[in-house]
Amino acid sequence: MLKVASWNVNSLNVRLPHVQAWCASAEPDILALQETKMTDEKFPVEALRESGYHSVFSGQPTYNGVAILSRRPGKDVVTDLEGLDDPQRRILAATYGDVRVIDLYVVNGKEVGSDKYAYKLDWLRHVTDWIEQEVARFENVIVMGDFNIAPDDRDVYDPEAWHERILCSTAERTALQKVLSLGFQDTFRLFEQPDKSFSWWDYRQAAFRRGMGLRIDLVLASQAMAERCTSAYIDVEPRRQERPSDHTPVVAEFD
């Protein structure tokens, strides 16, 4: 079995104990992290090795940052895309056995129509073109991370309030569909799921307690991997902890 997970930790410096505790209990084989918010020099390689995990990472101070923790070392690591001039650390890929894992922290976009929104859509175009190249190289591909896009209205606590707002706009959802059209399945939707299943809740307005969330953290699997997927779920328990990330882990398991 292969168990993979994705978690926007919103500062690994703050949430390292949460990550270590969750890894000890959930025992993922591969865990993709986003918003590590630390430079490569400060990445806790040794602490995570003591927890049983190898690390590949691409970081910067204060913002962004991605990492992949794994039981076995990764190879063929990619942190930058040719043709995408972007100093922000949002992209990471590595190969584990015969599985290519891509970790994305997609641009937020701030608000529909803004410069950051245009940047988000352009970034997604570049990344989608690159993923298409990866699919041509590898049969078994998993793309996971914080997509900052709720795939459809089932993934939004109040679709009417969020209609055409950032994270839920038609252009963003269309961009996500272009990734899926490369042959990917949203693993969460391969199985019957509870209504109002979310992976992110704002820190404000007691959003978590009130169920005011969005599902924006995804595990996408190529067709060969999707056929092997045996379960997919969201683990909300880490969001209940003290000083939690505003996101919680999303998990998929494969034969």
Residues paired with 186 in a beta bridge: 220
Which residue from 100, 18, 94, 89 is spatially nearest to 59, judged by alpha carbons? 89
Active-site residues, by number, are 105, 146
Short-list 65, 133, 59, 53, CA closest to 96: 53
Dist. CA 170–CA 69, nearest whole Å: 33
The residues that bridge with 34 in the sheet, in sequence order, are 8, 66
DSSP letter at 155? G
Are 34 and 143 in contact by the 8 Å Cβ rule? The answer is: no
Q: Which residues of 62-86 are buried (b: 16+ CB within 10 A; e: fewer)?
A: eebbbbbbbbeebeeebbebeeeeb
Nearest to 120 by CA among 111, 133, 129: 111
Amino acid identity for residue 96 in this structure: Y
